């Protein structure tokens, strides 16, 4: 009798444990299935969304003003250089973030050494484009990279003097009339608003591929706007003071972030 009761008790415990384990297993499977379904429903969309980039309004491409100014370096050379008189004026007009830039200048140069006297008079001009990289500046300050085509027209004279104990004094003059030179420039520059509509800043120029035409009597020595003619490539520096004349308000792009 005791043996039968013990066997019945042990069987009941084993059956209860087995049923509990099966119930736990079913609950776990159900929870895993629900978790996977929730993860699938809540999984973020990894598809890349194109960011909205506002279009530039058409009225931004209408010129709004002109900046005109003079080269302070040239004025300093006139005041303290002695050999050269040079004046240079520059202007630029905005077309959104592109500036059409041009400059015009005059030059008179004289150099005297042992046995020679050289002089030239002429003018030069540059024309080109600048791209402004300060996109959101409300004061219209500019940091630019650009390109120029430049040309100079001038006449030059060389007087040669020598003294010889046997043949005496010797003097000869050579003249190049209607000489033309041309070159290209790679530029970078900065213009900063200092007060009201006044701007100041520099232009750094790399002058390349210089060519000279109509120098028939002697080899050109100095080129207006370029410098010493012995160089085909060189660099130069200008520092401008400019004033902006505006006929309409210039639009400025707003940041999207």
Q: Is the pLDDT of residue 19 over 70?
A: no
Q: For residues 201 and 241, what is the distance between their CA atoms, to the nearest angstrom?
A: 7
pLDDT tens profile 187-215: 999 999 999 999 999 999 999 999 999 99
Helix (H, G, I), strand (E, B) or coil at 9: helix
pLDDT tens profile 42-57: 545 545 545 556 677 7
Residue 209, pLDDT score: 96
pTM for the model stands at: 0.74
Instruction: Name the phi and psi angles at 107, rounded to 5.
Output: -145, 135
Instruction: Name the phi and psi angles at 195, rounded to 5.
Output: -170, 150
Model confidence at 73, in pLDDT bands (50, 70, 90)? very high
Q: For residues 4 and 11, what is the distance between their CA atoms, to the nearest angstrom?
A: 11
Go through the domains of the chain in sequence order and give each one's CATH number. Answer: 66-246 (2.40.160)
Residue 191, pLDDT score: 96
Q: For residues 240 and 59, what is the distance between their CA atoms, to the nearest angstrom?
A: 29
DSSP string, 63-114: --EEEEEEEHHHHHHHHHTSSEEEEEEEEEEEETTEEEEEEEEEEEEEEEET
Instruction: Name the phi and psi angles at 9, rounded to 5.
Output: -65, -45
Contact residues for 116 (Cβ-Cβ < 8 A; gap 6+): 158, 159, 160, 161
Q: For residues 208 and 70, what is the distance between their CA atoms, to the nearest angstrom?
A: 23
């Amino acid at each position: 009798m005791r043996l039968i009761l013990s066997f019945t008790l042990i069987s009941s415990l084993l059956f209860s444990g087995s049923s509990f384990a099966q119930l736990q297993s079913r609950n776990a499977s159900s929870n895993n299935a629900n978790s996977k379904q929730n993860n699938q429903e809540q999984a973020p969309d990894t598809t890349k969304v194109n960011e909205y980039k506002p279009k530039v309004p058409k009225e931004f491409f209408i010129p709004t003003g002109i900046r005109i100014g003079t080269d302070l370096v040239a004025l300093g050379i006139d005041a303290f250089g002695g050999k050269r008189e040079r004046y240079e004026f520059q202007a630029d007009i905005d077309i959104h973030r592109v500036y059409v830039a041009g400059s015009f200048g005059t030059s008179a140069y004289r150099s005297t050494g042992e046995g020679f006297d050289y002089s030239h008079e002429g003018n030069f001009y540059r024309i080109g484009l600048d791209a402004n990289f300060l996109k959101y500046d409300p004061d219209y300050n500019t940091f630019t990279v650009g390109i120029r085509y430049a040309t100079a027209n001038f006449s030059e004279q060389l007087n040669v003097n020598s003294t010889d104990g046997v043949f005496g004094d010797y003097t000869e003059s050579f003249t190049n009339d209607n000489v033309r030179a041309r070159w290209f420039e790679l530029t970078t520059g900065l213009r900063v608003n200092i007060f009201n509509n006044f701007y100041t800043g520099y232009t750094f120029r790399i002058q390349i591929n210089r060519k000279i035409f109509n120098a028939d009597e002697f080899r050109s020595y100095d080129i207006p706007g370029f410098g010493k003619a012995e160089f085909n490539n060189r660099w130069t520096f200008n520092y401008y003071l400019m004033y902006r004349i505006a006929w309409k308000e210039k639009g400025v792009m707003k940041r999207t972030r």
